[in-house]
Every structure is written in C-alpha cells, then in structure tokens.
Chains A and B, each alone.
Chain A
C-alpha cells in the first residue's frame, strides 16, 4: 500500500495564500501547537500564548509571501515570529502581573486531568516535578529560556534555532550550555536532581 503524499509546508503555504481553506487549516493544524506551546513556555501565561498564536498566524495570512523557504524552515520562521510577539507582549504587559492564572472563561478542568492513572502518588509527584521544571524554565533570563524552549522542548536543530533567533549557531550553543547550567542549579535548589523516571547512574561495568 502506498503512503499518501503529505504536502510540504511550502506547498501548503502557496495554496493557502491562493485562498485554499483546506491548506490553511492543514498548515494551522500542523503548527498551532508549536507556536502556542512556545509562547506558553516563554511567557507562562495562557492568555499571552493565545494572543501570540493569533498574531503569528494573522501575520502569516497577511505577509506569507515574504517567507522564503530557501532561507529557513516554516517551523523556524514561525518560532521566530512567535518569539518577537512574546517579547512585544511581555514587555507591554509587564506592569500587569497576573497573580493567578485564570481559567479559560470559566471552563472546568478537563475530566482527564482529574482522573489519576494506576499510580496516583507517582502521577502527583510527576506533575509536581513538571510544574517545578516549568517554573525553573520561566525563571531563566529570556535569552537562555528561548534556546531551551526551542532546542529542548520543540526539538529544533541548532541551525533552525539560530534562524528563529536571528543569531549565529555558536551563540545558540553557548546559550544552551549556560542555560542548562543555570537550570540544573535551579532544579537542584528545588530538590530535583535526577531523571524523572529512571535514576541515571554511571555504569561501572
């Protein structure tokens, strides 16, 4: 059985700009999570992440013709746009510190989040550990946070991250080194020192 051909980002973008709604929904579906999660990890606020997602894709609708697929992947291009939006919005909203993350217009917590798995204590510990990791990432200076979010969470290559951040690959590498060192220090201070599931030990065999 032959695998159906998956259109490339550039093809989808071309069709989208020509008015093809299916191309738009495909492209949006492909990258909305990436952009949203990037903004969420960078800002720590769902409201900012929503606005960034909105702005990034509206800009793509308006200025999509400016994108050059030979210069950068669409993933890197969108991450770069999202990064600029996050910086803009966080700067603008800095005086208004949100004390408690608001729920999504009164929506209740999804039921799946209330149901624990087979190991409720383990689930609880993992959730807490993940929360602490997210807090530690948020506490990093933006220049280190953004490379960690791009390279470690979004799994962009160093080259892609460099394009998204508009800086040399070497800068990405050095910031990632420094960011990891800072993050390890923060996690140690928070009492998290080992891998989440398995103890990473040196094998003396």
Chain B
C-alpha cells in the first residue's frame, strides 16, 4: 500500500469502520513504516474524538416541552379531523370529495358572495369613505371587513402554504388590545395550484364549524368543535374555493 491508497482509507481506519480486514491490516502496517501517514491517522482519530466529545455533550439537548406539546396537539387535531366529517376540502382531499358536494359548496359560496356584494354596495353608497378600506386586506391583524374584498394578484403572493402553529403564536403575541382581528395565513385548498396564474380572485367571509381548523392542521378543541369560527375563503372565477384563512 502506498501513501495515496492510505489517504483513501484513513477516515475509515480512524472510525474502525473498515470492513475489509486485509485492507485494514495493510493500512496499519503502512503506518508503521510511514510517519506522514501515521500522523494523518492520528490527526483523523483526534478530530473524531473531539467531534464525539461534542456529540456526547449534546446528547441531552432536545426540543423544549412547548414543541412537544404543540406537536401532540397537532397530532390530536389531525386525528380528530380524520375521524369527524370533512368540512372543508383540505390539501390532497379534494379528489375524494364527490362532485355534488363540491358543487353544493360552490353554490353556497356564490350565494353568499351575491348577498354580501349587494350589502357591500348599499353600504358603500351610503358611506363613500369606506372605499379606501376595500383595498387589500392585510395578511395579519386586519381591521376586519365583514364583506367580501377583491384580492389583487399582489395579494395572492400571501396565499402560500406555510406552517401554522408558529405563525399563530407570533400573531397572538403581536395582538394588541385595540386590534379587532387576528388572521392566520392562507391555506391552499387545491394542491399544486398556482394562484398567481389566475386572473381574478375574490375573498368572502364565512363561518364554519370549529373542526374545520383541523382540516388544515390547526389545533382545535374537539369539545368546542361544533362552535363556528370565522374564515376568509378565496374564490376563483369559477366560484370554487381556492384558499382559506381563519379569523379570530
């Protein structure tokens, strides 16, 4: 064995992970005649010992209990949502919904839109100054428009699946007494669909059973599941729901 061959083996020799006994013996014999390679092996072993000392020191480092609790809550919410009836088509479940159910939901939402559009128009004609507020609900802590608001292409950038529990925690900590609403971010209801490619979107405020939270992976209390929660649903031109966010 020459030095070049030994260099390839040095790491495995230092780890004692060289399975080929012949190669191991040849490598060790080489270190007896080559000081440079012996030093290389010693250096490799020293480095591994240092790294393992750190690994041992870190062996007890684990995520804090709040992460454990949060994940357990998410697991329970998901399990409960799976067991109970489906309220909203979540990611990956749309395909399992029968078409008549989708049609019924779409029709219901369309009716809501129409009613709210009429209400909104009549309100805005009485109060023209409210037009300023009809632009763009912010992704967090909106002042809470109860009627539908047009969603521009720019806003669609907010409609991205991200994780919830942390966001909710952040939003909750940002909430001040004078703010009226806290919203989650948007959760897409159709997997793989790029909302930015759609020409126009509309958003409508609806009320859903609390168990709907579980459909998007949010923790919820099964005891209060029948109570309604407010949500903003983003609709495409075809009237189908594309994304949802929850409002508190």
Contacts and interface: CB of A to CB of B under 8 A. Distances in A.
Are A and B a genuine interacting pair, yes or no?
A: yes
Given A195-B45, A202-B38, A153 B55 contact: yes
A129 B51 CA distance: 10
B54 A130 contact: yes
A54 B46 contact: no
A32 B44 contact: no
B61 interface: yes
Interface stretch (B71-79, B110-118, B123-131, B221-229): B71-79
Interface stretch (B62-70, B94-102, B135-143, B203-211): B62-70
B48 interface: yes
Interface in B74-94: 74-76, 78-79, 82-83, 91
Classify the secondary structure of B's interface with A: helix
B239 interface: no
A129 B68 CA distance: 31
A196 B50 contact: yes
Contacts of B133: none
B54 A195 contact: no
Interface stretch (A1-9, A94-102, A161-169, A176-184): A176-184
Contacts of B78: 61-62
B163 A55 contact: yes
B71 A57 contact: yes
Contacts of B74: 58, 61
B165 interface: yes
Contact of B50 (A127, A195, A202): A195
A201 interface: yes
Contacts of A16: 75
A93 interface: no
Contacts of A49: 63
Contacts of B59: 33
B58 interface: yes
B57 A50 contact: no
Given A24-B75, A153-B55, A184 B63 contact: no
B61 A36 contact: yes
Interface stretch (A67-75, A114-122, A186-194): A186-194
A28 B82 CA distance: 20
B49 interface: yes
Contacts of B67: 32, 50, 53-54
A143 interface: no
B62 A152 contact: no
Nearest to A152: B51
Contact of A187 (B50, B55, B75, B163): B50
Interface string A129-173: 110011001000000000010001111000000000000000001
B43 A184 contact: yes
A50 B63 CA distance: 6
B189 to A, nearest CB: 14
B42 interface: yes
B54 A21 contact: no
A186 B202 CA distance: 57
A196 B49 CA distance: 7
A80 to B, nearest CB: 18
Given A152-B48, A195-B46, 13 more contacts: A28-B71, A33-B59, A36-B62, A50-B64, A54-B67, A61-B74, A62-B217, A130-B57, A134-B54, A153-B58, A180-B44, A200-B46, A202-B38
Interface of B: 11, 31, 35, 38-39, 42-55, 57-59, 61-64, 67-68, 70-72, 74-76, 78-79, 82-83, 91, 163, 165-166, 217
5 contacts: A19-B82, A28-B68, A37-B61, A61-B217, A129-B53
Interface of A: 16, 19, 21, 24-25, 28, 32-33, 36-37, 40-41, 49-51, 53-55, 57-58, 61-62, 104, 126-127, 129-130, 133-134, 137, 148, 152-155, 173, 176-177, 180, 183-184, 187, 192-198, 200-202
